[in-house]
Structure 1
Amino acid sequence: MLSREERAIIRSTVPLLESGGEALITHFYRMMLSEYPQVRPLFNQAHQASGDQPRALANGVLMYARHIDQLDQLGDLVAKIVNKHVALQILPEHYPIVGACLLRAIAEVLGEEIATPQVIAAWGAAYNQLADILIGAETGMYEQKAAAPGGWRGEREFILAARVQESSEITSFYFEPADKGAILVAEPGQYIGMKLVLDGEEMRRNYSLSALADNGQYRISVKREPGGRVSNHLHHHFPIGSSIQLFPPSGDFFLTQSDKPLVLISGGVGITPTLAMLQAALQTERPVHFIHCARNGGVHAFRDWIDDLAQRHPQLKRFYCYDEDDGLSPAADKVGLLSQEQLAQWLPQQRDLDAYFLGPKGFMAAVKRHLKALGVPDGQSRYEFFGPAAALE
């Protein structure tokens, strides 16, 4: 536990983190990834290049400093970090590397006049405190997943059993365990971590499970991203019968049981976790409004499957919104961006509902504003990022 003096020092650095935290963390990543190649597979280099990962960590460090006297208020943030770490198999031996590089970055970026020995010592103690919290939570989660039916710890070999092209950009991949054993049942909305080696370089990625894992298979549905090494490898160089290492499903964004009407809103490849949620909801009597937005019909994945579900389940209402009409695909219910007025028409009359939404950041920010303006309680409006978390303003 930090001393009162150490907490005071951490609080005093908050203004510095507010103004220069991103530069500090960018320096930290550059140093760590160049000097410790063993941790490079744990970080998506595309997120590094875009600045998303440094911004996310800088915000996390800032939130930690702001709440150094009230760590209980960081429960949601800690849960999200722990789930991401478990999905990528972050281990206790990784933490000293991160801590040493973080303290060096503080000293080198802030300079000796600000980063005094007392400041470095306080941040060292604060980091060790946070590391202990995360390691404890992650160890418990690893053990829980290993002990569960069909569970395991670390990597497990899976074989690609099938692949299906869902749109011009998205392909689904079905994985079965090489040992033919049972698999851990995932919560609808969770993701799974994978490890693969491309051109001699190990890479790890998380992908949402796009179907319930109730048939001995895991399904992910991957968008082919321009320049994306892993997504393009899966699309173009990963035939049926290929082997891959998977980590147990993880994630704190999943469908919870409720009698309230359910609204699932997705943009683009953000549709993937909502598919498992939809499957789970249709096993109950719960009313479901499924709203999907895409650029056009050519990139709209799973439309036929959802249309078929709507025919067979009267409780399901589905609505599609396209940015543009390509003139070739079946028509959408609305052409143009999803407006508040349009969303109001597609929501249930009862605003005491549960909403889950995913997609590009700008899309999610707009959906969050619309839901709030339309009277959906903040605590019943949930979202997830497909990468480093960020604030939705």
Structure 2
Amino acid sequence: MENNKKYVWEDVIHTIKKLDPKKLEVVKATLPIVLEHGEAITTRFYQRMFENHPELRNVFNQTHQRTGHQPKALANAVYAAAAHIEDMSGIMPALERIGQKHRSLQIKPEQYPIVGENLLAAIKETLGDAATDEILDAWADAYEVISDVFIRMEDVLYKTSENQPGGWAGFKDFVIDRKVQESEVITSFYLKPKDGARLPSYLPGQYITIKVDLPQEEYTHVRQYSLSDRPGLEYFRISVKREDSLEEGDPAGIVSTSLHNVYQEEDILPITSPAGDFYLDVNSEEPVVLISGGVGLTPMMSMLNTIIEKQPSRKVTYIHAAMNGKVHAFREHVKDVAATHDNVRSYVIYQTPTDEDRQEHRFDKEGYITLDWLKETLPSNQAQFYFCGPTPFMKAVNKALKEWGVPQEHIHYEFFGSAGDLES
């Protein structure tokens, strides 16, 4: 099993190359400038890197480039790492999250110098004369320290992934054994290894990376999807929402629509072994509250199915929010689980329920999740809370939990795609 706690963080910290004190002071002094121009720098960085190394378009999600999500995420990561460069243990969770993503995407040590070269050039182009040779030299050393941390950390993750029972290196071919429509917009894909080998275990909530090559596309597309069933089965399951075009000029999701409309049973999908830092603590018996919005239910399904199979006495409350019953996946499964397991309670919130939803009494609340409703519904705030869904939904949940006094260490969440900020 790949567990990001297996490597000893202190070993990484103690082997970091120390910056020259003078260069460290330069980095500290220029942090506000980097923060102010961070998105402009990282946007230009990606432009330069893809111009100079177009093959890297096969690695990075181009949709996140167009929306600006990835440049913003990179800017935040660079700033945070530089701000904590003397002791990165303070941002260990963020670094672990990035390292897990890199391992899943197969980012390799030889790619870090490419990133560094183009990042420094982007700083120079963006800041102009303000980026003196002294500043660029100091930031070059800072980048070397930061990249060394990631390379060391990811080396352990690669070795752990490959050497675990059933593990493998790189991408491995899987066969789509079954394709099941779960709602009008979500379809599940049951994946089995083409070579018939055993599957590695994983932590409920983790994801895999799939690789899709389409004849009409110049570059390969890679996407990460949460595993939507529990570990220990003969298959991996992902449940994918079809991202249709919502308005003119807003392109449909290339990978999700291809999976829905093009890929069929018996087709091949190359994938990497499971990764991710968002997962259920299976060593705890504390009560759990799972809260999902839309397709954010996928990691929650893995957690819920794990609890009912492995922890039948652990109390779990599952709250799911969706537009209506037409797009609500796994509704009957969760309903059946709650009806047949004394430790499980479930609630459904529909924003705009259909007439059929009303007639069939398919939901418990109309509208949105609120703090008052959580207080009325849950026995207390003494639980481990896991949530996932669209960013506005997660911001609302996060705000409600904090106002209710839930400790930060009991709040766990995951962004789909580039990491964002729930506090803004």
TM-score > 0.5 by shorter chain: yes
Is 1:221 equivalent to 2:239 in the alignment? yes
Amino acid across the alignment from 2:263: F
Verify the 8 A CA contact 2:57 2:219 in the aligned structure 1.
no
Verify the 8 A CA contact 2:320 2:347 in the aligned structure 1.
yes
Is 1:175 equivalent to 2:200 in the alignment? no
Q: Match for 1:201 among 203, 206, 219?
A: 219
Is 1:309 equivalent to 2:326 in the alignment? no
Amino acid across the alignment from 2:22: E
Paired position in structure 2 for 1:334:
365
**Equivalent residue runs for 1:24-39 within 5 Å:** 24-39=41-56
SS at the partner of 1:382?
Answer: strand
Verify the 8 A CA contact 2:85 2:146 in the aligned structure 1.
no
- The answer for unaligned runs of 5 or more in structure 1 is none
**Equivalent residue runs for 1:181-330 within 5 Å:** 181-199=197-215, 200-226=218-244, 227-256=252-281, 257-282=283-308, 283-284=310-311, 285-329=313-357, 330=360
Taking only aligned residues, the RMSD between alpha carbons, in angstroms, comes to 1.1
SS at the partner of 1:211?
Answer: coil
- The farther-off stretch of 142-151 and 371-380 is 371-380
Q: Match for 2:120 among 103, 112, 123?
A: 103
Verify the 8 A CA contact 1:47 1:53 in the aligned structure 2.
yes
**Equivalent residue runs for 1:23-172 within 5 Å:** 23-111=40-128, 113-172=129-188
- The farther-off stretch of 369-378 and 55-64 is 369-378
What is the deviation of 1:376? 1.6
SS at the partner of 2:387?
Answer: strand
**Within 1, Cα distance between the matches of 2:81 and 2:156?**
22
**Within 2, Cα distance between the matches of 1:344 and 1:225?**
34
Amino acid across the alignment from 1:121: D
Deviations, residues 139-181 of structure 1 (Å, cap 9, x unaligned)? 1111111111100111111100001000000000010001000
Amino acid across the alignment from 1:237: V
What is the deviation of 1:73? 1.0
Amino acid across the alignment from 2:384: D
SS at the partner of 2:220?
Answer: strand
- The answer for unaligned runs of 5 or more in structure 2 is 1-17, 245-251
**Within 1, Cα distance between the matches of 2:382 and 2:58?**
43
- Normalising by structure 2, what TM-score? 0.90
**Within 2, Cα distance between the matches of 1:2 and 1:374?**
43
**Within 1, Cα distance between the matches of 2:389 and 2:336?**
23
Runs of 4+ in 1 over 6 A off after TM superposition: none
**Within 2, Cα distance between the matches of 1:40 and 1:333?**
45
Deviations, residues 50-91 of structure 1 (Å, cap 9, x unaligned)? 111111111111112222222221211110000000111111
What is the deviation of 1:346? 2.2
- The farther-off stretch of 158-167 and 113-122 is 113-122
Amino acid across the alignment from 1:263: V
**Within 2, Cα distance between the matches of 1:196 and 1:259?**
39
What is the deviation of 1:295? 0.7
Verify the 8 A CA contact 1:171 1:223 in the aligned structure 2.
yes
How many corresponding residue pairs? Answer: 391
SS at the partner of 1:106?
Answer: helix
What is the deviation of 1:205? 1.0
Deviations, residues 176-215 of structure 1 (Å, cap 9, x unaligned)? 0010001111110000011121125211111000001322
**Within 2, Cα distance between the matches of 1:273 and 1:54?**
26
- Normalising by structure 1, what TM-score? 0.97
What is the deviation of 1:218? 0.4
What is the deviation of 1:378? 1.4
SS at the partner of 2:280?
Answer: coil
Identity %: 41
